[in-house]
Amino acid sequence: MVTLRIEGGRPLAGRVAVEGNKNSALPLLAACLLTDQECVLTNMPRIRDVDVLIELLVGLGAEVERPDPATVRIRCRSVTSDEPDPALVGRLRGSVLLLGPLLARRGAARLAQPGGDFPARRTITTHLQALAAMGAVAVAVEGPGYGLAAPDGLTGASMYLDEASVTGTETALLAAAAAKGRSQIRHAAMEPHVVDLCRFLRAMGVSITGEGTPTICLEAPARFGGATHRLDGDYIEAGSWGVVAAITGGEIEVTGARSEALEVVAAPLRLMGLSCSHDDDRLVVRPSWLKATRRITTGLWPGFPSDMVSLVTVLATQADGRTLVHDWLYELRLFALEQLSAMRADLFLCDPHRIIVSGPTKLRGRHLDSRDLRSGMALIAAALAAEGESRVRPLEIVERGYASLVERLTSLGAVVERLS
């Protein structure tokens, strides 16, 4: 277990270039399993979740080369197993994305209980319903997990997702891309990473229309080809660095994420008085006098992303007045932020989805527990703004989504140290 020691109270300044979108990387890697031809993915983020999914693919028979840290070459000439390594599956919620490609290539899939953030609270019911609509049937497995079979192959279908789940939509896309006949996915997620997956599948030969809308139609090709694809920059990572600049009173320029995606993150932050601009695929945050806003609520795309709610809650501790933060989708992110109370933050947890933050308050350093990826990064931001020393652990959880975190913080002027 690794601990990050932080000496707070210093404004951070400089420039950060974000890497490829974490939420695009995993479905794109899973899609490579659909074809026996070579696929090349560039601008791949150098994060732990990507490493784990690549290990899973190798265990299923994929040949993987990494000519440089941001490029992955994958060829799955044959898929040698229908059961990904259960130990690795238990570390990564994104492993659920392997179900569709395994059913397509092997006619069966056995998956242990996926891990990651909040594994007990995040079900895969939407995924299973979509696969069942295309003809997959449940089969018994030993221990906790899921077993599915489609011995005669998947069949295209019209399906309505019970929620606009991002990974649920991606699971449906990966399965429908290989199903016989035409499929229609309604109540589909519209996030940029879903669009990114559709673009990649189209490059592999799949006929797709409607990406970025609630209805996506697709039909499998006669034969899958290989494809080369560059990931878009990670707008959540860009927003995270913007909050780090704002909460420390610094000035940071973030490059690499598309301006259209940055607008979704920047608009609510401007309501809090944050001086920022986004154009030419860069986000610039300047020292600001922060003020409370009546309410910040997460929403489906293009609403304010749930992945940013922990960070904006921490930012609200430095805003003048009272802000209600409402994350209608997830519960435990707000519970994790109760640790801020011991840092002198003025918080009132209304229920698992709503928290009232009063500010500004001068935070005090302390030991903190990074219980999930996003709240872990939010607690690091709080520690950077706090008086005195803080220690955040385990750092490995945050590194699942933020590459070279210690090195980047140091380059911006933070006093941090990695402790084993």
In three-state secondary structure terms, 355 is: strand
Distant-in-sequence, close-in-space partners of 383: CB < 8 Å, separation ≥ 6: 6, 8, 363, 365, 368, 390, 392
219 with 268, same domain: the answer is no
287, 338: one domain: yes
Together in a domain, 40 and 126: yes
Domain count, the chain: 2
The reply to whether 27 and 11 lie within a common domain is no
Residue that finishes a domain, picked among 215, 230, 245: 230
Count how many residues are written for the chain: 420
pTM score over 0.85: yes
- Domain stop point among 198, 230, 262: 230
The answer on 314 and 220 residing in a single domain is: no
DSSP 25-50: HHHHHHHGGG-SS-EEEES----HHH
Which residue, 230, 260, 285, sits at the end of a domain? 230
Residues 102 and 11 in one domain: no
Per-residue pLDDT tens, the chain, 420 aa: give them: 899 999 999 999 999 999 999 999 999 999 999 999 999 999 999 999 999 999 999 999 999 999 999 999 999 999 999 999 999 999 999 999 999 999 999 999 999 999 865 544 568 999 999 999 999 999 998 888 999 999 999 999 999 999 999 999 999 999 999 999 999 999 999 999 999 999 999 999 999 999 999 999 999 999 999 999 999 999 999 999 999 999 999 999 999 999 999 999 999 899 999 999 988 899 999 999 999 999 999 999 999 999 999 999 999 999 999 999 999 877 767 777 889 999 999 999 999 899 999 999 999 999 999 988 999 999 999 999 999 999 999 999 999 999 999 999 999 999 999 998
- 37 lies in which domain range? 22-230
Q: What is the CATH number of the domain that holds 73?
A: 3.65.10.10
Same domain, 197 and 342: no
Is 82 catalytic? The answer is: no
**165 and 57 in a common domain:** yes
Per annotation, catalytic residue among 82, 117, 234, 327 = 117
* CA-to-CA dists, residue 418 to 51, 167, 393, 406, 412, angstroms: 21, 33, 10, 7, 16
What does the DSSP 8-state code read for residue 98? Answer: G
